[in-house]
Chains A and B, each alone.
Chain A
């Protein structure tokens, strides 16, 4: 059981790749419709430098946009989660903003900042800060009323309660949101690159598909997916180290 659990993440994708490869071969699917995994691998290898040139840009804009989102989202979450006034006045606006398709904003960003790095960073930021803010706010807003009373009866200020309980308590929520947000940040920067940039995986894929170089498009997809997985795993690791207390069974106990 344990062995299978450990092998699962490797075996299942491998099986899928083999199925894909065999399907392409059996049904003789033309490469410009669906390239086989081996062709994608060859495209990856042959264009390694070009892909590196573009993917490093994507990684850069994503990480910068995401870092700003973490700082801003955490701040906003603490504000909204700890003050009723901030909650009632900010929340409707935030929900409204989050409902706007970010693709529609990219052209405006291009008008403001020109094509290239800045719109990609801003799009990555806009897409990824919302889950962070909402999660941190939830962690703060769901402090047990009894615990709040214990501290308030000692003369604690709202700031004391947020510092001593709210922020540590919202850490698991923060990390859960980081794992969602980092993948959204990739979506944001690639959208922006696809629409308006001359560097980045998004640009590479747009150019490749214009040239009917579908294997290269798929190679781009693979690189984005890999970067997403690596970032996700990094945060999962940090989460485990920092908030191990939250993932343990609450009812587990020793002694009488």
Chain B
């Protein structure tokens, strides 16, 4: 399948600090990729590179067949913080990208009904249709994150970038939202890149899990999860192969941690610290 996103020998430096170097990654169109790695390995830099918010210092970022040099408008983004605008209702928040992105911003008045329906459809999938006219302060954290997810998809992006979107949620809500995200993805089949610390989340949602090395980050290993059939659910969690994969990834990441840190603390690393 054609690659929607391809990173070729990319490096990015902030001043003298090299955040990523020799980064190579391919994300086929319509697939779900996850990126995991030790903290500070440049996962957020990857987000900025792929969306074109930051230019690569060297190497090439190819999105949709073109080497990019600025923001690409085929992207939707969601972050750990839902960042809803408190003066807008859920529905108005979800529709915000349509007021900005081209060509929709010029069709707002003409297609208002169609756009509203599109937003309501998304809200229905995530189970928020009865909260469309509520304000963010009336929603729980999980509901706000659902709304944020809808906002990132309203303009029908071909590429969805998720930066630890469930990181701040409690375990139950998080797993609930994994299924919400999986449902939307199975239905719409956009390309997704998920940056996360949660290895189970990565394996559960993605087709390919890319493990990043320590800073300067590059892809150390890629795990394919084709063995677990979709839609994934409860049965995936109890699959021994799934748990084996989690353990392997955990070992990978532990191996990637900064040796200096271990020498400094002098204590053997506990698995709990290695992976959350």
- Residues of chain A within 8 A of B77, CB atoms compared: 149-150, 153
Contact (Cβ within 8 A) A256 B140: yes
A residues 229-256 near B (Cβ < 8 Å) are: 243, 245-246, 248-250, 252-256
| A245 touching B155, Cβ below 8 Å | no
Verify A168–B85 contact, CB threshold 8 A.
Answer: yes
A169 to B86, CA, bound (A): 9
Q: Is B81 an interface residue (CB 8 A)?
A: yes
Q: Are A253 and B85 closer than 8 Å at their CB atoms?
A: no
Q: Count of chain A residues with Cβ under 8 Å from any Cβ of B?
A: 28
Q: A253 and B101 in contact (CB under 8 A), knowing A154-B73, A168-B87? A: no
Given A149-B51, A168-B85, A155 contacting B73 (CB threshold 8 A):
yes
B8 CB to closest chain A CB (Å) equals 21
Quick one: closest B residue to A168, CB to CB?
A: B87
> How far apart are B49's CB and chain A's nearest CB, in angstroms?
12
Q: Write the nearest CB–CB distance from A54 to chain B, whole angstroms.
A: 42
Task: Mark contacts of A139-178 with chain B using CB atoms, 8 A cut-off: 1 yes-contact digit, 0 otherwise.
Answer: 0000010110111111110001000110011010000000
CB-nearest residue of chain B to A150: B77
Chain B contacts of A164 at CB under 8 A? 96, 99-100
Interface size class of B (residues with CB under 8 A): 35 or more
Residues of A within 8 A of B75 (CB): 153-154
A146, A168, A169, A171, most chain B CB atoms within 10 A? A146
Q: How long is the Cα–Cα vector from A245 to B161 in the complex, in angstroms?
A: 29
Complex Cα–Cα for A150 and B131 (A): 23
Cα separation A156 to B142 with both chains bound (whole Å): 27
In angstroms, how far is the closest chain A Cβ from the Cβ of B19?
Answer: 16
- Tell me, in angstroms, the Cα distance from A154 to B97 when the chains sit together: 7
Tell me the bound Cα distance from A256 to B151 in angstroms: 20
Q: Quick check: is B241 within 8 A (CB to CB) of the other chain?
A: no
Return the contact of A144 from the options B52, B83, B96, B163 (Cβ within 8 A).
B83
Q: Which of chain B's residues have a CB closer than 8 A to the CB of A144?
A: 81, 83
Task: Please indicate which of the listed interface residues B137, B141, B151 has the most CB atoms of chain A within 10 Å of its own CB.
Answer: B137
List chain A residues, Cβ under 8 A from B83. Answer: 144, 146-147, 150
Docked-complex contact A146 and B79, CB < 8 angstroms: yes
Minimum CB–CB distance for B250 against chain A, Å:
28
- Select one of B71, B96, B97, B140 contacting A253, CB under 8 A: B140
Complex: how many Å from CA A248 to CA B73? 34
Residues 74-103 of B at the A interface (beta carbon under 8 Å): 75, 77, 79, 81, 83, 85-87, 96-97, 99-102
15 residue pairs A–B, Cβ–Cβ below 8 Å: A144-B81, A150-B79, A150-B97, A150-B151, A153-B51, A153-B73, A154-B71, A154-B73, A154-B75, A155-B101, A155-B102, A164-B96, A246-B86, A252-B138, A255-B131
Where the two chains meet, the residues of A that have a C-beta atom closer than 8 Å to any C-beta of B are 144, 146-147, 149-156, 160, 164-165, 168-169, 171, 243, 245-246, 248-250, 252-256
Q: Which residues of B contact A (CB under 8 A)?
A: 48, 51-53, 71-73, 75, 77, 79, 81, 83, 85-87, 96-97, 99-102, 131, 135, 137-143, 151-152, 155, 161, 163, 173
7 further A-B contacts with Cβ under 8 Å, apart from A150-B97, A253-B138, A254-B139, are: A151-B96, A153-B77, A154-B100, A168-B87, A245-B87, A252-B138, A256-B143
Query: Closest 7 A-B residue pairs measured CB to CB?
Result: A253-B140, A155-B73, A146-B79, A154-B101, A147-B83, A156-B100, A153-B51
